[in-house]
Amino acid sequence: MIHLGEFQDLYIVKKKEFGVYVNDHKNETEGSILLPAKQVPKNADIGDKISCFVYKDSQDRPIATVHIPKITLGAIRPLRVKEVSPIGAFLDWGLEKDLLLPFKEQLGRVRTGKEYLVSLYIDKSSRLCATMKIGQLLSTDHSFQTDEWVLGTVYNIHPEHGAFVAVEDMYLGRIPKKEIHGKISIGEQLRLRITAISPDGKLNLSPHEKAYLQMDRDAKLVMDTIDSYDGCLPFNDKAKPEVIDRELGISKNAFKRAVGRLLKEDKIVITKTGILKKIKEPQHHEIF
């Protein structure tokens, strides 16, 4: 049986000027499909075996190709959006006919030119389509350790639970809502630290260092931001969390810890309306 969305070895059973017909049975023409002439290997003849990928053409007819698509059935890959239309988005998967990502299979709004993690599946009409709903396909069988840094791609965002991430495009992870400061978008690739591993193998992730290391970075960030305001930040540690998040991309607690560090180091002064960079007066030495 010939399978959609997969590479398989097929036999040439009939030759025409416009191509050859291939089948999974060497001596059977019924149910055979076309491999266009421009893709037929030189000197190929009836009975020869060719490795082909099978999909459907613009007339919804099964067709074979020797070209390698960017995704196969059941795999998870990042694909770029070529066009957004009234019936869904069309993705570049390396073949002549673009791959449809139906609206019902999208998570959030997709944009032309951006890449999103998708899987390939066969819909109810026996057509190959893409889906962004990949959570159940991600594995929890891994050898990662706590505090290890990994690369992950955001594939879904939930307002209460946080951002769901495909670690190395293979493993199931989540950034809890409390760890997200600043804007994260679906399709974005992030460098993340594994903060915990649940008994079933799911990964808890954070874009931040451990608290004591993160405080050093946050303190530098606050100081750099003060400098960008010519030494006078127009809000202090009593500012609303959304103001701090907008201006620095960190939480209010992280901001307060960083400000506390800078106060201890005698680098700033807090006023009722902001934070000033402390200018140390030059020391004068008497000359004897």
219 in any annotated domain: yes
For the domain that residue 236 is a member of, what is the CATH number?
Answer: 1.10.10.10
Q: What is the pLDDT of residue 283?
A: 56
Helix/strand number for the chain, H first, E second: 3, 18
Alpha helices in the chain, H assignment, sequence order: 211-228, 241-248, 252-264
What proportion of the chain, given as a percentage, has pLDDT over 70?
A: 96
Q: What is the pLDDT of residue 288?
A: 45
Q: Do residues 12 and 55 share a domain?
A: yes
Q: Do residues 202 and 216 share a domain?
A: no
User: Residue 173's pLDDT band (boundaries 50, 70, 90)?
Assistant: very high
Q: Do residues 188 and 168 share a domain?
A: yes
Q: Do residues 273 and 221 share a domain?
A: yes
Q: Do residues 233 and 200 share a domain?
A: no
Question: Beta strand pairing status for 232-233 and 203-206?
Answer: unpaired
284 in any annotated domain: no
Question: Beta strand pairing status for 171-175 and 203-206?
Answer: parallel
Q: Give me the number of domains the chain comprises.
A: 4
Q: What is the DSSP letter of 73?
A: B
Q: Of 225 and 281, which is predicted with more confidence?
A: 225
**Residues spanned by the domain of 110:** 76-135
Mean pLDDT of 166-192: 92
Q: What is the pLDDT of residue 101?
A: 97
Whether the per-residue pLDDT at 9 is higher than 70: the answer is: yes
Lowest-pLDDT range, 55-64, 79-88, 159-168, 204-213?
Answer: 204-213
pTM of the model: 0.74
Which of 187, 206, 225 terminates a domain? The answer is 206
241 in any annotated domain: yes
For the domain that residue 34 is a member of, what is the CATH number?
Answer: 2.40.50.140
Q: Do residues 273 and 215 share a domain?
A: yes
Which of 166, 189, 206 terminates a domain? The answer is 206
Q: What is the pLDDT of residue 69?
A: 96
Which of 158, 188, 206 terminates a domain? The answer is 206
Residue owning tokens 């127009």: 234
Contact predicate 37/26, CB 8 Å: no
